[in-house]
Amino acid sequence: MSDLPRKAVTRTAKLAALPLGFAGRSAWGLGKRIGGISADLVGQELQQRTAEQLFKVLGELKGGAMKFGQALSVFESALPDELAGPYRATLTRLQEAAPPMPAGTVHGVLEEELGEEWQECFSHFDDKPAAAASIGQVHRAVWHDGREVAVKVQYPGAGEALVSDLTQLGRFARLLGPLIPGMDIKPLITELHDRITEELDYSLEAEAQQTYAEEFTEDGDVVVPHVVHQTDRVLVTEWLEGIPLSQVIADGSQEERDRAGQLLSRFLFSGTVRTGLLHADPHPGNFRLVTGESTDPAEWRLGVLDFGTVDRLPGGLPPVIGEVLRLTLDGDAETAYELLRDEGFVKDRIELEPEAVREYLLPIVEPACVEKFTFSREWMRGQAARVADPRSPGHQLGRQLNLPPSYLLIHRVTLSTIGVLCQLGATVRMREDMETWVPGFAAAAAKQEPEQDEPTELAL
């Protein structure tokens, strides 16, 4: 593969084969069952084959296909246990890597962007990529002044590939829906499509990353690499050494998981109000645990990478979010309902019972009900089942609510972050972070908190 597979006919053929593959494996599974093999065993093998084909194709194509796969991967914790096992390893693998672009192609882009003497910019450049993502891959290098740097090189044809992938994926979004219960796939694809132009523009990414880097320079919890150099298709930033978050998810101790979860929560809520920008790509591949010289997780910091997708929110999250959450916790269903209606979450032609809306929202804000909350895959699956089961009141009410376009990215980032916290199984003081950083929520501090000596996990 000389560069990003970009011919529309080639990419479309690969993606179009996915629904056919799903159908073929279903027929294969039926044949196995007719032959007398246990339905449970057949089902597990079917899920394994589906996961492997889906994410193999998404990873090979990179572009919008891989970005879609990464967006799905953070919702792995919503899958039932009998399905999660076959998917988990494949999803995690997709979060961290993809097939690399050949060195010759990389050199060609560097020559076009940095000039014929591009090698003089570096005292060392590693041709083997350190990471490969949806629209570019990262190489480790040493800048000419001696700084260790990460060099992100955009795949040739990335823009065309993104548009082609997401258009094709949108055509059979319905078939991918069952992979993640309770999630509507089509709006996710639409929202990803809307972000294409921004993510391809490395000048916007450099500006966003530098804004974060400067704000968090002296921070004890979060570290963001500074930008060193940027062109249209090459972004050079300081190198960040650390433990991949996916590694902590896979085999970290509980102390490490809790620290990672607390840092992730703090970054989600504090970063936006401090910078006016929402980091909008919270999959595990974009985070590192920076240990420094310490073996004590309590002293670790969260390293944050990839600012290609951001939402510009001067002043932080919209205050109505904090106000509605506070009112939901305090039991003021009427006022919360009016705020939701004013903001467009309830359309004018729809009439709902305020208390029913509060009951629908209450499980979602469970992590803010207590001083500490333990996130888990079981809790996430309960949430997913509550809104996915057509027979449940939650499902029926959820279909009548509306998500205004301005909240789409905020909603996805919040759900994705919660998905990662559930993968970690972390106990987090999320209420504290929300009281400190979410506009409109601080008044909830007046609400009497339950006395407890141990971390609390609320189950549905």
Q: Tens digit of pLDDT for each residue in 283-325?
A: 888 999 999 888 999 999 999 999 988 999 998 999 999 999 9
Indicate the pTM of the whole model: 0.74
The three-state secondary structure class of 301 is strand
Q: What ranges in 6-62 are assigned the alpha helix state H?
A: 8-34, 39-61
Do the domain assignments include residue 326?
A: yes
pLDDT in tens, 6-46: 444 455 555 455 544 443 433 333 333 333 333 333 334 54
Residue 428: beta bridge partners? 373
End position of a domain, from candidates 168, 200, 232:
200
Please tell me whether residues 31 and 180 are part of one structural domain.
Answer: yes
Q: Is 205 inside a domain boundary?
A: no
* Domain termination residue (choose one: 171, 200, 229): 200
Tell me what the mean pLDDT of segment 188-215 comes to. Answer: 83
Q: What is the C-alpha to C-alpha distance for residues 43 and 324, in angstroms, rounded to an integer? A: 42
Instruction: Output the six-digit token pair for 301.
Output: 């910091």
Instruction: Compute the distance between CA of residue 174 and CA of residue 219 in angstroms, rounded to an integer.
Output: 44
Report for 117-126, 127-136, 151-160, 393-402: range of highest mean pLDDT: 117-126
Domain that holds residue 348: 319-446
| Number of domains making up the chain | 2
Q: Is residue 79 part of a domain?
A: yes
Q: Which of 160, 178, 200 is the last residue of a domain?
A: 200
pLDDT of residue 23: 39
Q: Residue holding tokens 């209450």?
A: 362
Q: Is residue 2 part of a domain?
A: yes
DSSP secondary structure, 188-222, as one string: HHHHHHHTHHHHH-HHHHHHHHHHHHHHTTT-SSE
Q: Residues 223-242: pLDDT tens digits? A: 999 999 999 999 999 999 99
Residue pair 289/256 in contact by the 8 Å Cβ criterion? yes
Residue 148 clears pLDDT 50, i.e. is over it: yes
On whether residue 451 sits in a domain, the answer given is no
Q: Is residue 175 part of a domain?
A: yes
Beta bridge partners of 287: 304
44 plus 185 within the same structural domain: yes
The arithmetic mean of pLDDT across residues 177-205, rounded, is 66
Mean pLDDT of the chain: 77
Which amino acid, 123?
S
3-state secondary structure of 126: strand
Domain for residue 423, yes or no? Answer: yes
The answer to whether residues 206 and 176 touch, using CB atoms and an 8 Å cutoff, is: no
What integer pLDDT is reported at residue 228 of this predicted model?
Answer: 98
Supply the pLDDT for residue 96. 46
Residue with more model confidence, 376 or 283: 376
For the ranges 84-93, 145-154, 307-316, the maximum mean pLDDT occurs at 145-154
Task: Please tell me the distance from the alpha carbon of residue 229 to that of residue 234, in angstroms, as a whole number.
Answer: 8
Structure tokens, 81: 């246990």
Report the pLDDT value the prediction gives residue 443, as an integer from 0 to 100.
59
Which two tokens mark 220? Answer: 């004890």
154 belongs to a structural domain: yes
Residue 238's contacts (CB-CB under 8 Å, 6 or more residues apart) are 147, 148, 149, 150, 225, 226, 228
Does the pLDDT of residue 434 top 60, yes or no? yes
pLDDT of residue 451: 45
